Structure 1
Amino acid sequence: MDFLYIKALHIIFVVTWFAGLFYIVRLFIYQTEAETKLEPAKSILQTQYKLMSKRLWYIITWPSAILASIFAFWMLYQNPSYLQEPWMLVKLAFVLALYFYHGFCQDIYNKLQKDIVKYSAFKLRVFNEISTIILFAIVFLVTIKSAINWIWGVIGIILFGILMMLGIKLYKRIREKKSWEKAESEILEEE
């Protein structure tokens, strides 16, 4: 098969892999937040999120990870000189980090399927940003093809990550304030 076709298939499955990783953690957040709902809403939501997670995880995310890897190994087999490039070695380190992230998601998935909630919605929101940072690092490395210049990209990613964390905290405060104001207005209405 022509190298460019293999590369295109690799990129397609990398995109769907990341899409699955981004969305699975959102489903974890929703499932965790459903824990605070009253019955029957809690049971209905939990059942639906478990089903959605299972389909996403085993029909899209895992197959995409495997196919992205197969096409990556195929490209490296056709062009082994890439392994001598420093930027490629750094990229492969980030890909390894992505596999650890994927494995951690698998652990969270397994626990939530058994109704074991270990992490708060806030911690999951922060955790969700790790895959974004890895994506930025890999794209910068592949585009710039420099083992040194990627450092500036990663510094930018870390700053971007810090801004995202601050945004998450601000969003949490706004939600808490609205919840507090709603509860306060309900109490005043009862009086």
Structure 2
Amino acid sequence: MYYYLKALHIIFVVTWFAGMFYMPRLFIYATEAGEQQPEARDILRSQFAVMMKRLWYGITWPSAVLTLIFGTTVLLKGDWDMIVFQPGGRWLLIKLLLVAGLYFYHFTLHHIFQQQMKGVFRYSSQQLRVWNEVATIFLIAIVMLVTVKESMSMVWGLAGLILFIIVLMSAIKIYKGIREKKNS
């Protein structure tokens, strides 16, 4: 039974991340629709609002809840809770802290979603593009940590993650430059 629960946990982690990867893209599209003529802007934003609601309430939120339920169940059924504060369980403690950060990120997406549903577009498409990559950073950090556990040096793990963030932010900046050049 434990492995079925673990499989369900992984499945809902994947669907949760799918929602967190796509939702900011929809935020970006809805924000950029503001650059269109009023009639086109309203049609686009209306369609994006429908897509956002379906994704957020139909996939992302249920997956976040089921990830938490199955993750907690796997933690307890596998007796992982017994090693969290042991030297061999440091990786799990760090993972749980990263997961808490991921839920915080989820709630920030919910806040942006609520704003956009009210017609408030506070962030530029460039800011949303950067925010879109936060889930990627969490995904890489958590998967690497769970996969290599104690085999990874904390220093090299952080150095690799920082390097990845630098490369990712550089790619976003390069993309912005290409878009601006293309539009001018």
**Normalised-by-shorter TM-score class:** over 0.9
Q: Hey, what's the Cα distance between the residues in 2 that align with 1:31 and 1:117?
A: 8
Q: Hey, what's the Cα distance between the residues in 2 that align with 1:178 and 1:142?
A: 42
1:170 aligns to what?
174
Give CA-to-partner distance per residue, 1:84-117, whole Å, 9 cap, x none.
4111100000000001100100000000000101
Task: Please state how far the C-alpha of 1:155 moved relative to its aligned partner.
Answer: 2.2
Task: Please state how far the C-alpha of 1:148 moved relative to its aligned partner.
Answer: 5.6
TM-score, with structure 2 as normaliser? 0.93
Higher-RCO chain (CA-CA 8 Å, sequence separation at least 6): 2
User: How many residue pairs align between the two structures?
Assistant: 179
1:156 aligns to what?
160
1:36 aligns to what?
35
Give CA-to-partner distance per residue, 1:143-187, whole Å, 9 cap, x none.
01128625423321221121111111111111111111xxxxxxx
Query: Whose Rg is larger?
Result: 1
Q: Hey, what's the Cα distance between the residues in 1 that align with 2:155 and 2:18?
A: 25
Q: What letter is aligned with 1:81?
A: M
Cα 1:131–1:154 shift into 2, 3 Å: farther
TM-score, with structure 1 as normaliser? 0.89
Q: What letter is aligned with 2:64?
A: A
Moved more, 14-23 or 150-159: 150-159
2:47 aligns to what?
48
Task: Please state how far the C-alpha of 1:82 moved relative to its aligned partner.
Answer: 4.2
Q: Hey, what's the Cα distance between the residues in 2 that align with 1:70 and 1:28?
A: 28
Give CA-to-partner distance per residue, 1:116-154, whole Å, 9 cap, x none.
011000001011111111111110111011286254233
SS at match of 2:36: coil
Deviation beyond 4 Å, 4+ runs, structure 1: none
Q: What letter is aligned with 2:36?
A: K
Q: Which consecutive unaligned segments of at least 5 residues does structure 1 have?
A: 181-191
Q: Hey, what's the Cα distance between the residues in 2 that align with 1:52 and 1:73?
A: 30
SS at match of 1:146: helix
Q: Hey, what's the Cα distance between the residues in 2 that align with 1:51 and 1:158?
A: 36
SS at match of 1:118: coil
1:134 aligns to what?
138
Q: Hey, what's the Cα distance between the residues in 1 that align with 2:45 and 2:130?
A: 22
Verify the 8 A CA contact 1:24 1:56 in the aligned structure 2.
Answer: yes
Cα 1:10–1:117 shift into 2, 3 Å: same
Q: What letter is aligned with 1:19?
A: A
Task: Please state how far the C-alpha of 1:39 moved relative to its aligned partner.
Answer: 2.5
1:77 aligns to what?
76
- Root mean square deviation, CA, Å: 1.3
Give CA-to-partner distance per residue, 1:20-62, whole Å, 9 cap, x none.
0010000000000001111211011000000100000000000
Matches within 5 A, 1:72-111: 72-78=71-77, 79=79, 80-84=81-85, 85-111=89-115
Over the matched positions of the two proteins, sequence identity in percent amounts to 51
